[in-house]
Structure 1
Amino acid sequence: MSDTTRSADLRDVMGQVLGVDASELADDFGPNQVATWTSLKHLELVVSLEEVYGVSLTQQDVRAMRSVAAVREILAGHGVTA
């Protein structure tokens, strides 16, 4: 798959779903640092990422989404630069 750059910034997408200011989301932030990153918000995040970036995330991808950096790496694995 060719590398695809999408207009939406990953931190903006994540901030909107999680209800936090995107500038507060450092790459190493995950559910332990972001109080609103609950299991329900995690699923909402998965759906939003799939819609915004046009990817289909696997169960393994969903389980591996433990930080902003991990989400970025997962998307990169699907050919998306976010």
Structure 2
Amino acid sequence: MSLKTLREGVPGKSPQAGASNAALTVTSDSARRIQWPVNLQAMGAIEVSQEAAIGSPSAGLRLVEIRAETGNARLR
């Protein structure tokens, strides 16, 4: 890995007296596997012959599958 820094000013001229060079700090970390919870709390209303909007309170996650068919019984 190589890092290059840019200096402001005119090429060929030295920096002004008292001017400091900016320091760049780089931190590296290795990738790691994280296991997310399997169960998500969902909210929404499902009614007979009506379209239902179902969402998850977890930001950034999307609902992929609903395991229910027409005529299935449900519990509150």
TM-score range, shorter chain: under 0.3
Q: TM (normalized to structure 1)?
A: 0.24
Q: TM (normalized to structure 2)?
A: 0.25
For CA contacts below 8 A with separation 6 or more, give which structure has more relative contact order. Answer: 1
